[in-house]
């Protein structure tokens, strides 16, 4: 059984792209904490279609709802922990690196401007609008996780095996660094 891998980092930094690349390279199953959370949003009556849903007004409304009801995050995190411990997965998650002891943990870092540029291209929105969304999602999630688990999302990076600054790299370069790190730590 291969060790599980966790990819974390701020919104729109490239977590899904890197996770899918690692899944293909190492024959792992790719799982997304965000996708599981979106399933719960649908159960609550939200229309969570599309990769960019988190960046829509509906996604922001669900974010506000999460702030008043931590059950959503707790359920997702419990499910992700169970899947993580089964092995052979690469998971994108904001919280999992702080909630599990083992595995390979990668943090993708980068500026809000860099994330906004990625979002602009991905979601066909203005860079200014993307920047507002990226900052809001980062700050709101940071607040939720501080309240829920008492860790500093984006600041306490001591749990990570590797921090990859994506600002001056393209997706292929980030993926190569991630692949090399996973090979070293297997």
- Mean pLDDT per 10-residue interval, the chain, length 186 residues: 87 94 96 81 79 75 78 85 93 94 95 91 88 91 90 93 96 97 93
pLDDT of residue 45: 83
pLDDT at residue 51, rounded to an integer: 66
The full set of domain ranges for the chain reads 5-185
DSSP β-ladder status, 5-8 and 89-92: parallel
Looking at 3.90.1300.10, 3.30.70.20, 3.40.50.300, 1.10.150.120, the CATH number of the domain 5-185 comes to: 3.40.50.300
How far is the C-alpha of 22 from the C-alpha of 37, rounded, in Å? 22
Tokens for 132?
């507002």
Which among 4, 32, 6, 14 is positioned nearest to 134, based on CA atoms? Answer: 14
The angle that helices 71-86 and 57-68 make with each other, rounded to 10 degrees, is 90
Q: In what order do the strands lie in the sheet with 5-8?
A: 29-32, 89-92, 5-8, 104-109, 162-165
């Amino acid at each position: 059984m291969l060790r599980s891998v966790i990819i974390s980092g701020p919104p729109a930094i490239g977590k899904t792209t890197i996770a899918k690349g690692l899944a293909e390279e190492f024959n792992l199953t790719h799982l997304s904490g965000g996708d599981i959370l979106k399933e719960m949003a649908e159960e609550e009556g939200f229309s969570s279609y599309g990769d960019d849903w988190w960046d829509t007004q509906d996604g922001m409304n669900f974010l506000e709802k999460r702030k008043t009801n931590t059950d959503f995050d707790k359920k997702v995190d419990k499910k992700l922990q169970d899947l993580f411990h089964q092995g052979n997965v690469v998971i994108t998650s904001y919280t999992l690196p702080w909630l599990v002891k083992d595995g390979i943990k990668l943090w993708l870092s980068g500026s809000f401007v860099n994330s906004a540029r990625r979002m602009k291209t991905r979601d066909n929105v203005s860079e200014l609008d993307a920047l507002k969304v990226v900052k809001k999602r980062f700050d709101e999630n940071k607040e939720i996780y501080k309240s829920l688990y008492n860790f500093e999302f984006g600041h306490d990076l001591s749990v990570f095996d590797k921090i990859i600054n994506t600002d001056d790299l393209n997706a292929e370069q980030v993926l190569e660094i991630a692949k090399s790190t996973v090979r070293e730590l297997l």
